[in-house]
Structure 1
Amino acid sequence: MTHNFHPTSLREYDIRGIVGETLGEDDAYAIGRGFATLVRRGGGTRVAVGRDGRDSSERLEDALVRGLTESGVDAVRVGLGPTPMLYYAAAVLEVDGGVMITGSHNPANYNGFKMVLQGRPFFGADIQQMGVMAAEGDWLDGHVGKVSDHHIIDDYVARLVEGFDGGAFRIGWDAGNGAAGPALEKLVKLLPGEHHTIYTEVDSRFPNHHPDPTEEKNLADLKALVVDRGLDFGIAFDGDGDRIGAVDGQGRVIWGDQLLSILAEPVLADQPGATIIADVKASQALYDRIAELGGEPLMWKTGHSLIKSKMKETGAPLAGEMSGHIFFAHDYYGFDDALYAAVRLIRAVSALGGSLTALRDAMPAMVNTPEMRFQVDESRKFPVVEEVLARLESAGADVDRTDGARVNTGDGWWLLRASNTQDVLVARAEARDEAGLARLVAQIDDQLAQSGLERGPQAGH
């Protein structure tokens, strides 16, 4: 028996597609067979399985579990919840890996699979290997594994507040009708203060707004809630609860790198000199702040699996991305968990004077572009970045090639990189004033023009 996946569904960090078009129950079954085979070849026998609230998730879970068990692995179903709840299950239960069925923040007709194996992220070559195994029918058979249910949500939420030493705030919360809603409702009952929650009902149609807190328009209802009720701040989650967004008491967005600069301070007080990792899209102000606090700033490639791997390699207690993935290994497990990051934010704000608005006011004023994403042919996206790098380096520019081209100038910096997951180029620039920003964007446009491209219409996620 063999299976061919749709070529667009095997991504860099996960498997994802449009249900009924590029992803279906046959794929879920094949993922179960392949993943179970890898688990058994590594000496394992049990896998935790979680799912988000999409209409298709239960059907895909049934097919996945059938595949796992037919390849001789026991499946432990932990139920509906955010992706970090599955990561937590994989960390604390006696299992050898975990599979989360989630479409993350994609539209309602999408779904997908995120995996962990033996405590490490499963991505890149691992995912491609599963495609090859399926095409060749390279799956183990054997005894049929057992299926059990382990209702873990209460244990997970209790772990989020373990050691809580924060104060009582008035906080607005927006779960975006995503999978974090039920856990959030349990969490706020365990926290001191006053909590106002919106959109905690799981609804895979996302009727109120798209569950992606990195796009400011999706934070409009949270901002209104905070400002109208005079709350201290607000917190939002993406569709599967592994990315966080926040606004201060005035409704100003606190971006991923700004959150990291706040979260880093108590961590560095506890672990002086520790390495703190951020992705190449983060502000120079963040790297400067980490150094100022006595930490070792490390710029790394964008992508949650890449960041997690780098944390393990360097022993970093904390890392984050502009996209709102925040990873705590300090007193936690090293995975991206937006609910845990929210609890740590409350604790950090308490430790740093009690006002997120004041912390935001104290940050250096930078002007930056949003993340600019534009379509480019798949075959050109990496070559264009190489052409730009070659021209810049021959001109003696100050370039960092950690992930694409990040160019430092007297005005600030700009970035051009190829997306690992889509046929888009991503650009971003940051300066101290608008005139400097305009000069940086002009440099991006000039480099694109020299490679026969222009910064065309914005591509969606």
Structure 2
Amino acid sequence: MTTANTAKKTDMTQAAFNFDQEILREYDIRGQVGKNLSEDVAYAVGLSYGTYVRRKGGKTVALGFDGRASSPVLSAAVVRGLMAVGLDVTDIGLGPTPMLYYAVKHLKTDAGIMITGSHNPSDYNGFKMTLQTGPVYGPAVQEIGRIAREGDYETGEGSVKEFDIQDIYVDRLMADLKQTDKPLNVVWDCGNGAAGEITRRLTKKLPGKHILLFDEIDGTFPNHHPDPTVDHNLEDLIKCVKDNGFDLGIAFDGDADRIGAVDEKGGILRCDSLITIYARDVLKRHPGATIVGDVKCSQVMYDEIARLGGKPVMWKTGHSLIKAKMAEEKSPLSGELSGHIFFGDGWYGFDDGLYCGIRLMNAVIDANAPASTLTAHLPQIFNTPEIRFEVDEVKKFDLVASVVASVKAQAEKDPSIAVNDIDGARVNTKDGWWLLRASNTQNVLVTRAEAQSADALERLKDMVRTEVGKIGYDVSFA
């Protein structure tokens, strides 16, 4: 059902508002409820982002929210702000972030905003923003902060209407599933995140058997944290796949714009491995195409894309940054190790864990073989998971800059060392490579290492420990 009402002149003060600079991140606005995020902040986001949209020529905006306890209140405040600057809002309600992105495309709204804390702890929340033409990030986020700081708002009388897009979205996901005489049996771990209801609707239409884990939407995340890049969070999925002899396991983060996956043996399919699986199919239709990955992805992925005839491009980490680079390169497929994977081939170029699940099912169907065979030909490597350690939020980028300077000085003396500083320090040595970069969403530094042997990996770890020690921190790979 669709309902509508029109905003009247508001008596709420449209005053200048200073956001805590910490919440104005590279590709969204995100903070901690009760600390630097509140209903007043959300209203100011509505005013300032709405003004930004108006000045881009926009008149309409789609809005959704995730399952956190704070999300409905923050959503209502954002709506008030958007209406106060003269925008017409289509509220699609509770659901995953990619459903909001889809709504922007399907409804042809000028912009979209999603209230979500993604994979952050339950007391965090935030705002992911997009225009019909592409993501809002970097300087645009700072411009939104400036608009609020100066109280430089547009004025108007907007409206709001509700629109239930859930079944339309599910039908669009189903449209790209390949037909098969051997339907797959899949376990889906929703992690109590925002994808629960959509996954229930989707699996009712899918052939084969399906088991849903933690599909009740609960923003306290009572079973495990909804971050599928952390191996511990996949333990329930792995056990269920193996105990039931199923073909595949698929997991989502809190707002389902990221995917995690395991094969029929319970082996974890890292997201750079998933990109190689997808690339094999995509490059058949787009020979020679550019495929973008982030600095955290395995060298094996870049080598495999090249072997398949594609052009691999390494870029900065961040879903909005990858999306923008993808558009620039006209890439049919891009992604990052964290599980944000973007299909321009057959989809709309935004990150959608549910759609990635459909495409992974297609890859297994095409292979007519177990999921574990899809990566069996790739070289064996020895690597670490992503290791995160907390640092001072204000100093995190300066700390990384110090490490970049240190390893570049070494590279000048040792030709076997090469440094890619496009996003932190990705350091190549004769043993392999390691990375240190600052997270754009948390007060942490992130490191990872990859080598061709166990001994070489230990040497890379030692180098990381030494460099991190120089900036006053310890890092443990245990």
Please state which band the TM-score falls in when normalised by the shorter chain: over 0.9
Per-residue deviation, 1:249: 1.0
Residues 92-131 of structure 1 deviation map (CA, whole Å, 9 limit, x = unaligned): 2131100000111111111111000232111111111111
| C-alpha distance in structure 2 between counterparts of 1:159 and 1:66, whole Å | 31
Relative to structure 1, the CA distance from residue 328 to residue 434 in structure 2 (aligned partners, 3 Å threshold; closer, same or farther) is same
| C-alpha distance in structure 1 between counterparts of 2:282 and 2:229, whole Å | 24
- Summarize the alignment of residues 275-314 of structure 1 with structure 2, pairs less than 5 Å apart: 275-314=290-329
| C-alpha distance in structure 2 between counterparts of 1:455 and 1:264, whole Å | 37
CA contact (8 A) 1:18 1:111 kept: yes
Structure 2 letter corresponding to 1:298: V
Per-residue deviation, 1:54: 1.2
1:186 equivalenced with 2:205 (yes/no):
no
1:15 equivalenced with 2:15 (yes/no):
no
1:391 equivalenced with 2:409 (yes/no):
yes
CA contact (8 A) 2:402 2:471 kept: no
Partner residue of 2:169 out of 132, 142, 156: 156
Q: Which residue of 2 aligns with 1:220?
A: 235
Structure 2 letter corresponding to 1:26: D
Task: Tell me the SS of whatever aligns to 1:416.
Answer: strand
Q: Which residue of 2 aligns with 1:265?
A: 280
Partner residue of 2:102 out of 69, 75, 88: 88
Q: Which residue of 2 aligns with 1:348?
A: 363
Give the stretch that moved more between structures: 178-187 or 436-445. 436-445
Partner residue of 2:339 out of 315, 324, 333: 324
Task: Tell me the SS of whatever aligns to 1:161.
Answer: helix
Relative to structure 1, the CA distance from residue 326 to residue 389 in structure 2 (aligned partners, 3 Å threshold; closer, same or farther) is same
| C-alpha distance in structure 1 between counterparts of 2:440 and 2:457, whole Å | 26
Q: Which residue of 2 aligns with 1:417?
A: 437
| C-alpha distance in structure 2 between counterparts of 1:136 and 1:29, whole Å | 15
Per-residue deviation, 1:452: 4.0
Relative to structure 1, the CA distance from residue 48 to residue 268 in structure 2 (aligned partners, 3 Å threshold; closer, same or farther) is same
Relative to structure 1, the CA distance from residue 179 to residue 159 in structure 2 (aligned partners, 3 Å threshold; closer, same or farther) is same
Give the stretch that moved more between structures: 182-191 or 338-347. 182-191
| C-alpha distance in structure 2 between counterparts of 1:68 and 1:33, whole Å | 6
Residues 371-420 of structure 1 deviation map (CA, whole Å, 9 limit, x = unaligned): 12223343332432332343133223222222222222222111122223
Q: Which residue of 1 aligns with 2:466?
A: 446
Task: Tell me the SS of whatever aligns to 2:339.
Answer: coil
Q: TM-score, normalised by structure 1?
A: 0.96
Per-residue deviation, 1:264: 0.9
Per-residue deviation, 1:331: 0.9
- Summarize the alignment of residues 25-424 of structure 1 with structure 2, pairs less than 5 Å apart: 25-142=39-156, 144-167=157-180, 168-377=183-392, 378-379=394-395, 380-395=398-413, 396=415, 397-424=417-444
Give the stretch that moved more between structures: 58-67 or 386-395. 386-395
Give the stretch that moved more between structures: 116-125 or 24-33. 116-125
CA contact (8 A) 1:91 1:119 kept: no
Task: Tell me the SS of whatever aligns to 2:261.
Answer: strand
Per-residue deviation, 1:430: 0.5
Residues 284-339 of structure 1 deviation map (CA, whole Å, 9 limit, x = unaligned): 11111111111111111111011000000000000111101110010110000000
Relative to structure 1, the CA distance from residue 422 to residue 54 in structure 2 (aligned partners, 3 Å threshold; closer, same or farther) is closer
Per-residue deviation, 1:166: 4.7
Structure 2 letter corresponding to 1:364: P
Structure 2 letter corresponding to 1:253: I
Task: Tell me the SS of whatever aligns to 2:361.
Answer: helix
Task: Tell me the SS of whatever aligns to 1:148.
Answer: strand
CA contact (8 A) 1:264 1:318 kept: yes
Task: Tell me the SS of whatever aligns to 1:106.
Answer: coil
Task: Tell me the SS of whatever aligns to 1:179.
Answer: coil
| C-alpha distance in structure 1 between counterparts of 2:439 and 2:212, whole Å | 34
Per-residue deviation, 1:457: 6.0
Q: TM-score, normalised by structure 2?
A: 0.92
CA contact (8 A) 1:406 1:416 kept: yes
CA contact (8 A) 1:170 1:193 kept: yes
Q: How many residues are paired up?
A: 456
Structure 1 letter corresponding to 2:399: K
Structure 1 letter corresponding to 2:160: V
Q: Gaps spanning 5+ residues in structure 2: where?
A: 1-14
Structure 2 letter corresponding to 1:410: K
| C-alpha distance in structure 2 between counterparts of 1:452 and 1:276, whole Å | 35
Residues 29-53 of structure 1 deviation map (CA, whole Å, 9 limit, x = unaligned): 1111111111111221111000111
CA contact (8 A) 1:227 1:250 kept: yes
Q: Gaps spanning 5+ residues in structure 1: where?
A: none
| C-alpha distance in structure 1 between counterparts of 2:71 and 2:20, whole Å | 18
Task: Tell me the SS of whatever aligns to 2:120.
Answer: coil
| C-alpha distance in structure 1 between counterparts of 2:121 and 2:131, whole Å | 27
Task: Tell me the SS of whatever aligns to 1:132.
Answer: helix
CA contact (8 A) 2:403 2:468 kept: no
| C-alpha distance in structure 1 between counterparts of 2:474 and 2:368, whole Å | 43
Task: Tell me the SS of whatever aligns to 1:429.
Answer: strand
CA contact (8 A) 1:381 1:423 kept: no
> Over the residues paired in the alignment, what is the CA RMSD in angstroms?
1.5
Structure 2 letter corresponding to 1:445: R
Give the stretch that moved more between structures: 9-18 or 421-430. 421-430
Q: Which residue of 1 aligns with 2:12?
A: none
Q: Which residue of 1 aligns with 2:8?
A: none
